[in-house]
Structure 1
Amino acid sequence: MTAAVAIDAARARLAVDSRCRLGEGVLWCERRQALWWTDIQSARLWRHTPGDRRSRYWRLPDRLGSFALCESGRLLLGLAKGVYSADPGAAEDLDALAPTLLAPVEADQPTLRINDGRCDRSGNFVFGTLNEDLRRAPMGRFYQYSRRHGLRPLALAGVAIANSLCFDLDGRGLYYCDSRQGRIMHVAYDADSAQVGAPEVFAEVQAPASPDGAAVDSEGRVWSAQWGVGRVVGYGHDGRVERVVEVPTSNVSCLSFAGAALDEIYITTAREELDDAQRRAQPDAGGVFRASVAGVRGLAEARFDDR
């Protein structure tokens, strides 16, 4: 990875020793000052409140690829084969959630499941699917879900592993990637019509790094969790690397800006795809890490409009 600008570096430290098989999709709820994330392969939804350092999880009926905070306080869940609604607040004394199906997704495609997703700045949930077949044919698609329009496909080319979904500050541009292609793309996006423009390459990600989850900060930088190389990278508006957060485990999956001032970065990781020797060398793999980068703040997470 090269850049023509000076690169500021920071280092993340373990915040929650959750030991997830595949920690992903981390979001910060500024109302409750709570962190949410999913362990996809274990079908668990996690919550951590830094104020009292308490963590817990709920079991789910299927794997949770991504999710969104809702205006009502509920959660919108992208389980493997459908979009669901759930209310963890009504299940504080339970160890499992019983979500309600809102829309099935690709029920006729058994190898596809919902993967990365995020709310756009107009309150719609945008997500993509992943092909679990070992040949990884680019069959995955991107969708927008809303109460008003239901499920609408986005006119983007098929992918093997949909990832990196996040939005420009004004909500009129969408970032995304196929993790297997090593390029973060940018496309014009209209939330009302669910229409997109012609994709352009925003940033090239050099192997062995693979772009995973992403987020946009308050100045419009794109921050990318990079699987396989133990880092989160902050890209400037021109797609060049400006900041790096080093994470002491290889498989870094997603990030969220958090804290009362949104000046912390929480980062999910995975134990998946590590052999026994790597797991011994990386005992904190699967945990959630925290870092602060001088002068960097995020935005409150957009919420799904379920009113």
Structure 2
Amino acid sequence: MAKRENLQLLASISVKNRLGEGIFWHAASSSVWWTDIHGKALFQLHWPEQTLRQWPVPERISCFSLLNPADPMASRYPLLVAFAPGLALYHPDSGATLWLAKPQQLSGNRFNDGRVDRQGRFWAGTMVEQPAADNAASGSLYRLDQQGCQQMLSGLRIPNALCWNRDSSLMYHADSPTQQINRYRFNPASGDIGKAERFATTPAGTEPDGAIIDAAEHLLCALWGGSALARYAPDGRLTALYSLPVSQPTCVALGGAKLDILFVTTATEGLSAEQLSLQPEAGNLLIYQYPHHGLTEPQLAAMPWQQLAKRFAGGAK
């Protein structure tokens, strides 16, 4: 077991998110974006100025991406979002929404973790929020690309830790309650994935949440319930545990001019008054100096958004 280490804390942004998630670095604006799922809010923090913007949203957003500025639709709908029931283009200032897909119409399920792959496709998974009587693992992982929205994995409870290595030969993904991070052979040209292989198991009492791959090809993962981040070598060895002052870290991003500033979203959801009193920074955005560097965030590819929306409106959901 790797020894616990402390990172240098640069800032703690007091946003008090119920369930902060989906954070990513946007180099063009020198800012990080993230969502508070249950708080129904979007956030943008400029770094290093620490200026914060916040937008209320009509439905819970679990993950999202900015459209490529060269995309003809970007001025009308700057964001692609996974609302709780489905995928849509969205403008946070005007509220304009263009629905693209609602692929899983199951009561009690909602969208959760998602990310853009290095070829510009958008991936997002659905989780079991309110189990049915049969307690089935009915969540799925979906891929949205020029051909539409396609189911890639099924039988999930809480999809998380989605990320790709530098050359896109491997995809990583976890079903959080299993405490296991899986690895899949990935075809960057087609977006197809191979069979699941066990990559790593998180420490006892923790679950894998949001994850990224850093420039050294190590996987950095938020440990829900673990008050820590775990860093795994490409062979699955746990090489570092970074201690945090909160028990529920949710997602991570690396940004800044040198891609060595670590941003960590956190949650207050489910914590008792006593637990919250012991974790005054729960729900904050935590910002650290990271001893390694990150990889450039991929850009979302331009897609035939109007065609996807017409298919959805026509019943091809």
After TM superposition, the score normalised by the length of structure 2 is: 0.88
* Structure 1 residues 272 and 66: CA distance shift in structure 2, 3 A: same
Q: In the alignment, residue 234 of structure 1 is paired with which amino acid? A: R
Aligned AA (1:300)? T
Alpha-carbon distance change, 59 to 7 in structure 1, aligned in 2, over 3 angstroms: closer
Q: Is the 8 A contact 1:12 1:245 kept in 2?
A: no
State the Cα distance separating 1:54 from its structure 2 match: 1.5
Counterpart contact for 1:11–1:247, Cα < 8 Å: no
SS at match of 1:195: coil
The 8 Å contact of residues 11 and 288 in structure 2, kept in 1 or not, is answered as no
* Separation in structure 2 between the aligned mates of residue 11 and residue 141 of structure 1, nearest angstrom: 37
Question: For residue 298 of structure 1, what is the amino acid of its counterpart?
Answer: G
In the alignment, which residue of structure 1 is the partner of 2:101?
103
1:299 aligns with 295
1:192-251: per-residue Cα shift (whole Å, max 9, x none)? 433211110110112211100000111211000001111111111111111222210110
Identify the match of residue 109 of structure 2 among 107, 112, 128. 112
Pair 1:183-2:180 in alignment:
yes
Question: Could you tell me whether the CA contact under 8 Å between 1:258 and 1:264 is conserved in 2?
Answer: yes
Alignment correspondent of 1:138:
137
Tell me the SS of whatever aligns to 2:137: coil
Shift of 1:172: 2.2
Tell me the distance in 1 between the aligned counterparts of 2:246 and 2:221: 16
| TM-score normalised by L of structure 1 | 0.90
Measure how far apart 1:157 and its partner are.
4.2
1:81 aligns with 2:85: yes
Supply the distance in 2 between the matched residues of 1:275 and 1:14 (Cα, whole angstroms): 25
Distance 2:102 2:131 in 1: 24
C-alpha contact 1:113 1:129 (8 A) present in aligned 2: yes
Show structure 2 runs of 5+ residues with no match: 304-317
Partners of 1:145 and 1:118 in 2: CA distance:
11
| Separation (CA, whole Å) in 1 of partners of 2:49 and 2:95 | 23
- AA aligned to 2:144 is Y
Local SS of the residue matching 2:290: coil
Report the Cα distance in structure 1 between the residues aligned to 2:264 and 2:191, rounded to whole angstroms.
29
How far the C-alpha of 1:126 sits from its partner, in A, is 1.1
Alignment map for 1:119-198 (pairs within 5 Å): 119-134=116-131, 137-146=136-145, 148-154=146-152, 156-198=153-195
Residues 11-20 or 123-132, more deviating: 11-20
Matching residue's letter, 1:61: P
**1:244-255 correspondence runs (5 A):** 244-255=241-252
For residues 179 and 152 of structure 1, what CA distance do their matches in structure 2 show?
A: 22
Corresponding residue of 2:53? 56
Deviation at 1:191, TM superposition (A): 4.0
Q: Are 1:245 and 1:291, in contact at CA under 8 Å, matched by a contact in 2?
A: no
Gaps of 5+ in 1: none
Deviation at 1:174, TM superposition (A): 0.8
- Whole-angstrom distance in 2 between the partners of 1:166 and 1:279: 31
The C-alpha deviation readout for 1:137-190, integer Å capped at 9, x for no partner, is 3111111101x1110111x34110000000011112110001000000000122
Tell me the percent identity: 31
Amino acid at match of 2:86: G
1:70 counterpart residue number: 67
Deviation at 1:14, TM superposition (A): 4.1
| Secondary structure of the structure 2 residue equivalent to 1:180 | helix
- RMSD (Å), alpha carbons: 1.8
- Tell me how far apart the structure 2 counterparts of residues 87 and 303 of structure 1 sit (CA, whole Å): 18
Q: Is 1:45 matched with 2:49?
A: no
Report Cα offsets for 1:14-73 as digits up to 9, x if no partner.
431100000011111000001111000011111111233211211112111111232126
